[in-house]
Chain A
Amino acid sequence: MELLLNLTIYLPLLGVLAILALRNDAMIRWIALAVTSATFALSVPLMLNFNAAGSDVAQFVTESGSLIGGLDIKYIVGLDGLSLLLFMLTTFMGPIVVLSAWESVKKHLAGFYSMLLILQTGSLGVFASLDMVVFYIFFELTLIPMYFLIGIWGGSGRIEATIKFFLYTLVGSLIMLVALLYLGFHAGDAINSGVFTSDWRLISGPEYQIGLVEQTYMFLAFALAFCIKVPLFPFHTWLPYAHTEAPTAGSVVLAAIMLKMGTYGLIRFALPIFPNAVIAFAPYMAALAVIGIIYGALVAMVQKDVKKLVAYSSVSHLGFVVLGIFALNTTAVQGAIIQNINHGLSTGALFLIVGMIYDRRHTRMISEFGGLAGIMPVFAVMFLIATLSSIGLPGLNGFVGEFLILMGAFNSDVLDNIWFGVFATTGVILAAVYMLWMFQRVMFGPVTKDENKNLKDLNAREIGLLIPVMVFIVWIGIYPSYFTGFSEVQVEKILDQSMEKASIIQINSQSADLPEWAGKLYDVTPEMASTID
């Protein structure tokens, strides 16, 4: 199984070699499809053999010896409850993304599919790596292909969008790199006999405790990197540009997978390693998340461009995920994890659908459409399911995540304020407003434009690539416990462990060294940490 995991991660790279070796335009798409399908096929046994009852321990682990003399950096990959579903989502979206570009990408095919495949390996590596330096390497590796995907195959404003995307993410992650280095040396001194270590399993473990001062700065550095990636309000400004200008395949990968690296990073690194800082900053992060939910929804409401609307709805939806993470109880964090997947599926589907209509009409303006439901009935059904899933209709996947998150937020001891939940709930209502209003303007009413009268309904390829997404949208909606079950044990354990750590550190450390502004934050935490289950 260890071999299988590595094969899954690196198979797309072999696909790149095949594409570059053949350089035959007719074959390239088929190679890409074959490789991504094979990657997905290889990953399925991983999910089936995953031991959910022991999800807190990484499984299928490959671990090398120390790679660089003097620094204990190891190549460690494995899957646990936090990463399994995202890993599967990534392999699952692979063939879908390739199919979505089948007819719409016409220039530089070799480059396009190579970039998609490199991105696939990078994303899989991000979710599978358990060494923080290796994580960082994969995390940054994903920037290069996305930079080219947006920049070469994007829309008219692509250059500005892609540079903005690249620089924003790079600034965040470079600052995280410094914090990561500091953490590695600090952890090395504390638990690895003085040798730099970046093994997540060691660092996140209960033996390793960090003083409040270091926690504050390192948490802020890590949080900055991940909040830019998510993106959390007010770091979201790169996202609408990147999403709107990216080609369909790029938008789908960006929404379904790359944004998840941010929320995933918060759960994996911030929660277990900096528990005191997480508790102290939780209300502020949750407040930003709630602002993001409402702001994203309000801005989405006034968009004239469907793709931009979906992009802003992403800001809003990811606000829910961040709120769930910082509500810091099992319900909410579980909700955040499943909402990661839901958002990937539903927003991914929406971007695919927007891409399909753009391929036909070469416009995405809402005002250019109207009455499409009568002309394209199959399209209408698909679009409706994706829309309802995005809104969070009970019975579909979106509801499960949002419900858990909101329930967790209302019950949160750390946030201890129902207004977070109340305001976040208005986001659900607003989502219904902007999504349904958009749907109505595009799909219903009289057909006002002549160009729309002869639009062809979805072809077999388009239906084929949407159906699997729809299956999971319904499956997760009806039977969520199968999916939430993968992470339950680990989430409980991580929360317990970090709360315990938080109370120990609070008692041990002198907060006198803290800067004044940060000292105030920690005033409340000791009682709180001990009361949280």
Chain B
Amino acid sequence: MELLNDINLYLPATVIAIAGLVVMMLSAFRASHSTVLWTSVSFTAVALARAVADLGTETQLVFHDMAAVGGMAAFGTVIILLGTIFTLLLSKDYFEKVGEYHSEVYAIILFATVGMIVLATATNLVTVFLGLETMSIALYVLAGVNKTDKRSIEAALKYFLLGAFSTGFFLYGIALLYGAAGSTSLEAIGAVTDKGLFYWAGAALLLTGFFFKISAVPFHMWTPDVYQGSPTPITGYMATAAKTAGFFSLIFILSRALGTSVDQWSEVIKVIAVLTMVFGNIIALVQTNVKRMLAYSSIAHAGYVLVGLAAGTEAGYTAVQFYLFAYTIMNIGAFGVIAYYERYKGLDLTELDNFAGLGFKQPMMAVMLSIFLFSLVGIPPLLGFAGKYLVFAAAVQANLISLAVIGVLTSAAAAYYYLRVMVYMYMRDAHTEFELPAVGLTYSLVIGFLAVLTVALGVMPWTVADLLAAF
């Protein structure tokens, strides 16, 4: 009975897992693309509705303290499911018109989502690992789903090798922490008072594993190639939902398991945050491919999130959650528009050079992209600004002023490469005349909805922030 009750409490992940199995069955019976898509979307919507309903509830632990539900865990689940549902909706046109379509893609996305939810809600290192691997293995496959595209295969292989490598660190860390605490539960590790070599080495290795997953500098090497090579909607999915899951897990581990050594790890995270912001942004400056540029920008954004974590305060964790929410909305939107441009086969429309004059060819899409990019820069009153504001406010409050200054200076530098996209789109004349294909109703609605969210929640950030403050 307790198990059933726990399953009920943990319903979002369960629903998605069932959805994955259903979609597998549908593929076996050669269901049409639309059937597969809308089945996946409906299941995800049900899970999302449940996760939203859970937002108001107190955090509690299920499955013998292996995972958390309600409160922060529910918010993580909401972000991941939002990321998933938009990715699903944007995938159909992409895979039909650009990539290859295999209905299993949807099943794999759903399985990855299960892994992410488990990762984001795990309160035991075993479940953390379980979630991480479920997510990662599914993502390795997704990265290589365009089987005829060399870049896609390269991305999958690279992701797999480096992912496996980082898993080694991760697992070693878990083992050592188990040695130190005698348990893999986060609470037990948090209660360790005799912090010996095992404890510190374990914590360091565990954090290293996380830094790989969230692509913090200097563990970011895999990110650009993987993000550039993967099918674009999947890139958006990896950059947002997967990262969100990683960061939520990191928050759980830092606050629950390593809360007593906040002084030590906060120093480490400060250094990593500075490196990530500086290198991510500087390398993004010289990119000529928009997808690759967004990959580096996603590294840079991980740096801003780390600033919030480095604060090590409640306000910092809240800011990080808000930031991840904001980043998910605007980044999936940006990748969605790029995915739309890729439908045109005559030119490689991920190359910045070919963006010349694009702004007036399909005005709505270009306006949306501009909104997402300005939001990524962090210009008020867009959602990205609210995120940055809360993160830097947390840093200033925790007296990390130099970190905040480096953060704002790098985001000023970042403005350059985001603006450059708009320079090409609007301020340069097209080299050649061509017609972009039609957008499609669902696609416009999804992108439009994301843009509206970016503006509306940017103007009224308290709608989300107050929710977070209540946790």
Residues of A within 8 A of B379 (CB): 140-141, 143-144
Q: Is the CB of A196 within 8 A of B469?
A: no
Known: A70-B315, A136-B380. A174 touches B393 (CB 8 A): no
**A170→B412 contact, CB < 8 A:** yes
Quick one: given A68-B465, A108-B360, A185-B396, are A167 and B380 in contact (CB under 8 Å)? no
Partner of A70, one of B374, B416, B469: B469
Q: A141-B379, A196-B393 in contact; A151/B409 too (CB < 8 A)?
A: no
Chain B CB within 8 A of A343 CB? no
* CB atoms of B427 and A158 under 8 A apart: yes
A177 pairs with B408, CB closer than 8 A: yes
Binds A, one of B88-96, B151-159, B397-405, B436-444: B397-405
| B433: min CB distance to chain A, Å | 16
Q: Which residues of A contact B393 (CB under 8 A)?
A: 71, 181, 184-185, 196
**B49 in contact (CB, < 8 A):** no
Indicate whether A167 sits within 8 Å of B401 (C-beta atoms), given known contacts A68-B461, A140-B385, A152-B427: no
User: B38 on the interface (CB 8 Å rule)?
Assistant: no
Contacts of A515 in B (CB 8 A): none
B163: interface (CB < 8 Å):
no
Binary CB contact string for chain A from 339 to 363 against chain B (1 if under 8 A, 0 otherwise): 0000000000000000000000000
Please report the C-alpha to C-alpha distance between residue A147 and residue B420 in the assembled complex, in whole angstroms: 12
> Is B172's CB within 8 Å of the partner chain A?
no
Beyond A174-B408, A177-B392, whether A182 also contacts B462 by CB under 8 A is no
Judge whether B462 and A68 touch: CB under 8 Å. yes
Q: Is there an interface contact between A182 and B401, defined as CB atoms closer than 8 Å?
A: yes
Q: How far is the CB of A334 from the nearest CB of chain B, in Å?
A: 32
**Interface size bracket, B side:** 35 or more
A137 and B381 within 8 A (CB):
yes
Q: A532 at interface (Cβ–Cβ under 8 A)? A: no
Which listed residue, B318, B416, B428, touches A163 by the CB 8 Å rule?
A: B416
B residues in contact with A281, CB < 8 Å: none
- From the candidates B392, B422, B428, B461, name the one contacting A178 in the complex (CB within 8 A): B392
Cβ-defined contact, A178 with B411, below 8 A: no
A178 touching B405, Cβ below 8 Å: yes
Give min CB distance, A166 to chain B, whole Å. Answer: 6
B457 CB, min distance to chain A CBs, angstroms: 12
> In the complex the two chains form, is B426's CB within 8 Å of A151's CB?
yes
Question: Would B411 and A174 count as touching, CB distance under 8 A?
Answer: yes
Given A68-B465, A163-B416: A152 in contact with B405 (beta carbons within 8 A):
no
Chain B residue contacts of A138, Cβ below 8 A: 380
Binary B-proximity of A263-276 (CB < 8 A = 1, otherwise 0): 00000000000000
Tell yes or no: A365 within 8 A of B by CB: no
In the assembled complex, the CB of B56 is this many whole angstroms from the nearest CB of chain A, namely: 15
Does the CB pair B408–A178 fall under 8 Å?
Answer: yes
**Residues of chain B within 8 A of A69, CB atoms compared:** 462, 465-466, 469-470
Q: Does A512 contact B (CB under 8 A)?
A: no
Asked whether, in the complex, the Cβ of A163 is within 8 Å of the Cβ of B470, the reply is: no
Residue interface mask A155-176, B partner, CB < 8 A = 1: 0001100110011001100110
B419 at the A interface (CB under 8 A): yes
Q: Which residues on the B side are within 8 Å of A147 (C-beta)?
A: 419, 422
Asked if A148 CB lies within 8 Å of chain B CBs, one says: yes
- When chains A and B are docked, how far (Å) is the Cα of A108 from the Cα of B366? 14
**A interface secondary structure, majority:** helix
B415 in the interface, Cβ–Cβ < 8 Å? yes
Count residues on chain A whose CB falls below 8 Å from chain B CBs.
Answer: 35
Instruction: From the candidates B360, B397, B462, name the one contacting A67 in the complex (CB within 8 A).
Output: B462
- Chain B residues whose C-beta falls within 8 Å of the C-beta of A185 in the assembled complex: 393, 396-397
Contact with A along B370-388 (1 / 0, CB 8 A): 0000100001110001000
From A67, A70, A167, name the one whose CB has the most chain B CB atoms within 10 angstroms: A70
Interface contact A140-B380, CB-CB below 8 Å: yes
B393, B412, B420, B466, most chain A CB atoms within 10 A: B393
A136-B380, A166-B415 given; A178·B404 CB < 8 A: yes
Given the known inter-chain contacts A71-B393, A144-B374, please indicate yes or no for A167 contacting B416, CB distance below 8 A.
yes
Kindly provide the distance from the CB of A441 to the nearest chain B CB, expressed in whole angstroms. Answer: 33
B465 proximity list for chain A (CB < 8 A): 68-69
CB–CB B408/A182 < 8 A: no
Would you call B192 an interface residue if the criterion is a C-beta within 8 Å of the partner chain's C-beta atoms?
Answer: no
Please name the residue on chain B nearest to A171 by beta carbon: B412
Nearest neighbor of A221 in chain B, beta-carbon distance:
B405
The reply to whether B423 and A181 contact each other, CB–CB distance below 8 Å, is: no
Across-interface contacts of B420 in A (CB, < 8 A): 163
Selected contact of A181 from candidates B318, B381, B404, B470, CB within 8 Å: B404
Q: Which residues of B contact A70 (CB under 8 A)?
A: 315, 318, 469
A141 to B409, CA, bound (A): 18
Cβ contact within 8 Å between A148 and B426: yes
Binary per-residue interface labels of chain B (351-379) against chain A in the complex, 1 for a CB within 8 Å, 0 otherwise: 00000000010000000000000100001
Please tell me if the beta carbons of A137 and B408 are within 8 angstroms of each other in the complex: no
Residue of B nearest to A133 (CB): B389
Q: Looking at the complex, which one of B396, B405, B408, B415 makes contact with A167 (CB distance below 8 Å)? A: B415
Q: Look across to chain B and name the residue whose beta carbon is closest to the beta carbon of A138.
A: B380
Tell me the smallest distance from the CB of B471 to a CB of chain A, in Å: 11
Contacts of A177 in B (CB 8 A): 389, 392, 408
What B residues does A163 contact at CB under 8 A? 416, 419-420, 423
Chain A residue numbers with a CB within 8 Å of B374 are: 144
B270-303 residues at the A interface, CB under 8 angstroms: none
Minimum CB distance partner of B411 in chain A: A174
B376 smallest CB distance to A (angstroms): 13
Closest A residue to B464 by beta carbon equals A68
Nearest CB on A from B405, distance (A): 6
Closest partner residue, chain A, to B467 (CB atom)? A69
* Contact A152 B385, beta carbon cutoff 8 Å: no
Q: Which residues of A contact B381 (CB under 8 A)?
A: 137, 141
Give the shortest distance, in Å, between B463 (CB) and chain A (any CB). 10
CB distance from B142 to the nearest CB of A (A): 35
Asked if B462 and A178 make an inter-chain contact with CB atoms under 8 angstroms apart, the answer reads no
Q: Is the CB of B415 within 8 A of A181?
A: no
Closest to A148 in B: B426
Minimum CB–CB distance for B373 against chain A, Å: 11
Q: Whole-angstrom distance from the CB of A187 to the nearest CB of chain B?
A: 13
Cα separation A144 to B426 with both chains bound (whole Å)? 13
A210 CB to nearest chain B CB (Å): 15
For residue B428, which residues in chain A have a CB less than 8 angstroms away from its CB?
159
- Nearest-Cβ distance from residue B443 to partner chain A, whole angstroms: 20
Nearest residue (CB) in B for A217 is B401
Chain A contacts of B396 at CB under 8 A?
A: 178, 181-182, 185
Most chain B CB within a 10 A radius of its CB, from A71, A148, A185: A71
> In the bound complex, what is the Cα–Cα distance between A155 and B469 (angstroms)?
49
For residue A417, give the distance in angstroms from its CB to the closest CB of chain B. Answer: 34
Shortest CB-to-CB span from B67 to chain A, Å, is 27
Q: How far is the CB of B264 from chain A (nearest CB, A)?
A: 25
**Which of A138, A143, A175, A177 has the most C-beta atoms of chain B within 10 angstroms of its own C-beta?**
A177
Measured between C-beta atoms, what is the minimum distance from A383 to chain B in Å? 32
Closest to B427 in A: A151
- The interface bits of chain B over 124-168 (1 if a CB of A lies within 8 angstroms of the residue's CB, else 0) are 000000000000000000000000000000000000000000000
**How many Å from the CB of B205 to the closest CB on chain A?**
34
Residue of A nearest to B458 (CB): A137
A171-B412, A177-B392 given; A152·B469 CB < 8 A: no
14 pairs, CB–CB < 8 Å, chain A vs chain B: A67-B462, A69-B465, A136-B380, A144-B379, A152-B426, A152-B427, A159-B423, A167-B419, A174-B409, A178-B392, A178-B401, A181-B396, A182-B396, A196-B393
A: residues with CB less than 8 A from B are 67-71, 108, 133, 136-138, 140-141, 143-144, 147-148, 151-152, 158-159, 162-163, 166-167, 170-171, 174-175, 177-178, 181-182, 184-185, 196
Q: A166-B415, A167-B419 are in contact. List 16 more A-B contacts (CB 8 A).
A: A69-B470, A70-B318, A108-B360, A136-B380, A140-B385, A151-B422, A151-B426, A158-B427, A159-B428, A166-B419, A167-B412, A167-B416, A175-B408, A177-B392, A181-B389, A185-B396
Closest 4 CB pairs of A and B: A174-B408, A69-B469, A137-B380, A181-B396
